[in-house]
Amino acid sequence: MLAGCSSAPVGQASAGSSSAATVAASTAEPLSASPAPPAATPAPPTPAPAQPVAPRGLVTDADLAQATAAVAGMSVPDQAGMVVMANSAQAVGSDLVARLHLGGVILMGSNGAIDGTTSGTPEQVKSVTMDLQSQVPASQAGAPLLIATDQEYGLVTRLVNGFTDFPGTAKLSSIGSTDEAAAQTTKVTAAAGTEMLAVGINVDFAPDADVVPVSGSSAIGDRSFGSDPQRDATLVAAAVQGYQSAGLAATIKHFPGLGRISADTHESLPTLDVTCDEWNTVEAVPMRAGVDAGVALVMTGHVLVPAVGTTVPSSISGAVVTDLLRGAGAADCTGLNFTGVTVSDAMEMAPISQNYSPGEAAWRALVAGQDLVLMPTDPGAAVNGIITAAGDGSLSPDVLRAAAARVYALRLALARAQRPGLDVVGSAQHEAIAADARAAG
């Protein structure tokens, strides 16, 4: 995720990359179930209608209670595996998920070819996700693995070949009327969510909730909805509601905000040099809107935040993750009181990988308040580091259990998602939604 996302961006889909796939019928099926056989005469593909998202998000109290009980009965190694999300380059084609009992995998690749595929077609991506789901241990049946990707559309687009080329944030934010822009954003993200679910992806690391400067450079650039915090907030909330109305877990990023930073956090550790008053009225506004819309996950970037006294990257800072994101605030910066799943940005990025071992980075992230440790350079070492830290007192076992329970609760919630057939991917209806949104701009 460029400048706070888990990998450098893949190019946009080229024209004609959204050809329809008609392999399976559009009859919905549970996300964790095996695919239904194709119907003799497939029904016309129909996008899932947007449904209201509960204010507290996808996870219910019952999900969390069930997850807490389940995690309490798990071994420490299983709890440690639950809070790690590995890179597909390491997980696909291996037994990594089965061996470590991982909580998730992020699908990466290049030029639209997801790891484990030759060209990243919907059929190929679905085959990869089904193989990953088959490695979920029997003891966790009914709680599908978190399978994520960076599908922002625009600059960062992983699913290209055969998928609808929906407009990205820059195009959607160019729509003059904020109300119309929000309506189009919700339609686009709801349709996009069904395409991801159809191929077995249940988490999208989108939308980007950063606020870029009115003038000057930004490593985020067109990935953001723009430079107006209030307008950005409206569109971030619309995107969250669209994705999650389809049953997909959305993620806002890159907390506490990278829009006004020009440095690439893949390569260096920049500083967000703003006062709390500035942060409260700029960076926090769309982030808070995403949280209030019920977003399932919040991703934390790698940045120093002097306003709250950080001396380490925000992704492993308790002042940022526990106080500012989860709590009431730090210093004079007002917190977001987020109760969902926190996820670090990629731990393979330089600010982390050049200063901490995979094991130390993992347990420090959990101590700071993270629930998911994303893309450690060595997933096995990360899991072992967590196990060791839970045993020697560096990491409270209660903190580990709480993080694992939040991850497992989200997995239980996503088991309720209905997965449409592949015929929705690149469908005529989705092409029309994409065209309508572009025309509105």
Q: Annotated catalytic residue: which of 266, 323, 371, 378?
A: 266
Phi, psi of 176 (to 5 degrees): -60, -50
- Using CA atoms, how far apart are residues 165 and 215, in angstroms rounded to an integer? 29
Per-residue tokens: 111: 């030029």
- Using CA atoms, how far apart are residues 366 and 357, in angstroms rounded to an integer? 14
Per-residue tokens: 364: 């420090």
Q: Are strands 113-114 and 109-110 parallel, antiparallel or unpaired?
A: antiparallel
Q: CA-based diameter of the chain, in Å?
A: 63
Phi, psi of 380 (to 5 degrees): -65, -45
Per-residue tokens: 415: 């088991």
Instruction: Judge whether 302 and 351 are in contact, CB under 8 Å.
Output: yes
- Using CA atoms, how far apart are residues 264 and 209, in angstroms rounded to an integer? 17
Per-residue tokens: 92: 């696909």
- Using CA atoms, how far apart are residues 135 and 139, in angstroms rounded to an integer? 11
Crossing angle between the packed helical segments 178-198 and 122-133, to the nearest 10 degrees: 70
**Rounded (10°) CA dihedral 367, 379, 134, 142:** 0
Any catalytic annotation for residue 345? yes
- How many CA atoms lie less than 13 Å away from 55 in the CB half-sphere? 1
Q: Annotated catalytic residue: which of 150, 204, 228, 345?
A: 345
- Using CA atoms, how far apart are residues 155 and 8, in angstroms rounded to an integer? 10
Beta bridge partners of 29: 419
- Using CA atoms, how far apart are residues 321 and 318, in angstroms rounded to an integer? 5
Residues 6+ apart with CB under 8 A from 215: none
Nearest to 372 by CA among 156, 206, 148, 153: 148
Beta-sheet strands, E only, within 328-441: 329-330, 333-334, 341-344, 373-374, 418-419
**Helix (H), strand (E), coil (C) string for 182-249:** HHHHHHHHHHHHHHHHHCCCCEECCCECCCCCCCCCCCCHHHCCCCCHHHHHHHHHHHHHHHHHCCCE
Catalytic residues: 266, 345
